[in-house]
Structure formats: structure tokens, C-alpha cells
Amino acid sequence: MEEEIKALQKAADIASEIAVNYGFQFFAALVILVIGWQIAKWISSLVFKLCGRVNLDITLSKFFAGVAKIIILAFVIIIALGKFGITIAPFIAALGAVVFGSTLALQGPISNYGAGLTIILTRPFVVGDTIRIDTVVGIVEEIKLAYTLLSNEDGERITVPNNQVIGKIIYNSSENLIVEQTLTISYDDDTTKVIQIIQEAIGKESQVVSDPAAQIGIENFGEYGVDLGIRYWIPTRLYFQVKYEVNKQIYAALHNANIELPYPRQTVCLEKKE
């Protein structure tokens, strides 16, 4: 029993000694971290506002604000560790060893961050642009270091790793998307008249972009008729909605003008044997 009491007294003495020797340092370090965190947030917000005043792109503004916050927090942590007499040099050396040992395992994520930094600095596209990469099409909602977030008309959110963006051919059409389609008319019809009818039908849809103007012309001479190429721009967020409405108006206009669209026909002749 006496041994247990002595052990408890010894533990209490050690705890008291630690509290006396390191209590103030711990409290000071905690105060430094709290104040440093608030200063980092304030500076980050200030940098973001300054970038907005000079009309800097929103992606770059967020990037510079984030970098400023990380730098301030890094200095604050170093100062807080110094209160305990801990130097940062051994941690840097250990971190370097860990990074070197895990380079292969983290090759994918690291390449994403490097590609994200390239996108942010070179700005091949910005938030709000419509881009197409391979078969992926969407509106840029956010650009992170690791990935780029897109959305489409159906409300789907598409996450594209940044290493799948850099090195690829990127089609950037700002906030609009082009409609390209072919319509076949008979060789007997007046192409000038048909083109005018289609042009007027497209012009009735207010959501179709006026600049650049719609393009309609003879694209090919097909087996069953003249192939007319139709090209016009519409807002990406309303792509299918507007496209279907324009198609309906074109079809109605051609029908009212008694213009029949050709289709494959087959004539079967039956001979009567005598």
C-alpha cells in the first residue's frame, strides 16, 4: 500500500514539474496558434479582395489567397514549436525522407497537383468556360490543384483529374456550345429558298447566339439529295433544350413550305408470266 502511495506521489510530482516547466510554453504556443490562424485567415481574405480589385481571374485569386494562408500558418507553426525548444530542421529532413520513399506510390496525386498548378498559372480555361477534353464536355465550375470540376445541362458534376487535362487537346468555347448537323433535301428543291427558311426558323429562337451568326450551306451531294450543313451556337446550360426546339421549328417551317425531305425508296416491279 505504501509503495502504491509513493508511486502516486512520484507521478504527481512529475506531473507538477511538467506543468511548472512546460505549462507556460504550452499556453503560449496555443495562443500563438490561435492568433496565427486568425491572422492567416485575415491575410488570405485580404489577398483575395486585392486580386478582385485588379480584376484578376477568380481561379488565380483563390490560388494566391490559399498560398498566402499556407505560408502564414507554416511560420506560425514553426514559432509555436520553438516555444518547446523544438527545431524544425529534423522534421524537414524526416519529411524529405518520407517524400522520397513515397514518390512512386504518390506519383498519380503529385502529377495531378503539378498539372493543377500549370492550369492555374497558364489559364487555358477559367471558371464559367465550356470545355471539351476528348469525349468529356462541361462547364468549368471550379479548378482545384488535384482536379477540375465540370457540370452539364443535366446537373451532373464531372470530376476530371488534372493530369488528364494537361497534354490533351482542349476545346474552349467560352459559355456556348456549337450545334452541327446535316439536313438532306431533294435535288428538285430550291436550295437558296430552303436555306432562307432554315435561317428564319433558327432566328425565331431567342436563345440562339447571334454573334457568331448561324451558318447554313451545301455540305455534300448525297445519294438521295443535297446535304445542307447547319451550324449555330447556343448556351451550354440549355444545349439540348434549345437544340430540340430549333429542330421542331425547322421541321414545321419546311412542312409549311411543302418541302419534302427525301428518304430511301425502293420500287418493286412484278411481271405477270403468260
Q: Which CATH architecture has domain 2-100?
A: Orthogonal Bundle (1.10)
Angle at CA of residue 245, ends 244 and 246, nearest 5°: 90
3-state secondary structure of 72: helix
Confidence category of residue 200, pLDDT binned at 50, 70, 90: very high
pLDDT at 104: 47
Indicate if 176-256 has the same CATH topology as 2-100: no
Work out the average pLDDT over 148-165.
90
Topology, domain 124-172: SH3 type barrels. (2.30.30)
DSSP string, the chain: -HHHHHHHHHHHHHHHHHHHHHHHHHHHHHHHHHHHHHHHHHHHHHHHHHHHHTT--HHHHHHHHHHHHHHHHHHHHHHHHHTTT--SHHHHHHHHHHHHHTTTTTHHHHHHHHHHHHHHHH-SS-TT-EEEETTEEEEEEEE-SSEEEEE-TT--EEEEEGGGTTTS-EEE-TTEEEEEEEEEE-TTS-HHHHHHHHHHHHHT-TTS--SSPPEEEEEEE-SSSEEEEEEEEEEGGGHHHHHHHHHHHHHHHHHHTT-PPP--------PPP-
Residue of 60 and 148 predicted with greater confidence? 148
Peptide bond into 212 cis (omega under 30): yes
Q: Are 115 and 162 in contact (CB under 8 A)?
A: yes
pLDDT, residue 14, reads 59
H or E element in which residue 151 lies: strand 147-151
User: Cα separation of 253 and 257, whole Å?
Assistant: 6
Q: Is the pLDDT of residue 3 over 70?
A: no
Q: How far is CA 2 from the centre of its chain?
A: 70
Which stretch of 16-25, 178-187, 256-265 has the lowest confidence by average pLDDT?
16-25
Residue type, 51: C
Cβ neighbours for 101, distance < 8 A, ≥ 6 positions apart: none
Is the confidence at residue 142, as pLDDT, over 60? yes
C-alpha to C-alpha distance for 189 and 260, rounded to whole angstroms: 9
Residue 118 has pLDDT above 70, yes or no: yes
Question: Which range scores top for mean pLDDT: 23-27, 35-39, 214-218?
Answer: 214-218
CA 118-120-126 angle, 5° bins: 130
Phi, psi of 147 (to 5 degrees): -155, 165
Per-domain residue ranges of the chain: 2-100, 124-172, 176-256
User: Which tens digit of pLDDT belongs to each residue from 219-266?
Assistant: 999 888 899 999 999 999 899 999 999 999 999 999 999 988 887 666
Question: Does residue 216 carry a pLDDT above 50?
Answer: yes
Stronger pLDDT, 261 or 190, i.e. the higher one: 190
pLDDT at 106: 46
> Over pLDDT 90: what percentage of the chain?
29
- Residue 256: its pLDDT value, please? 92
Residue 152 banded pLDDT, cuts 50, 70, 90: confident
Contact 234, 207 (CB under 8 A): yes
User: Residue 131 — pLDDT band, cuts 50, 70, 90?
Assistant: very high
Please tell us whether the domain made up of 176-256 is placed in CATH 3.50.30.30: no
Per-residue burial over 38-59, b if 16 or more Cβ lie within 10 Å, else e, is eebeeebeebbeebeeeeeeeb
Q: State pLDDT tens for residues 68-109.
A: 888 888 877 777 776 665 565 565 655 565 555 544 444 566
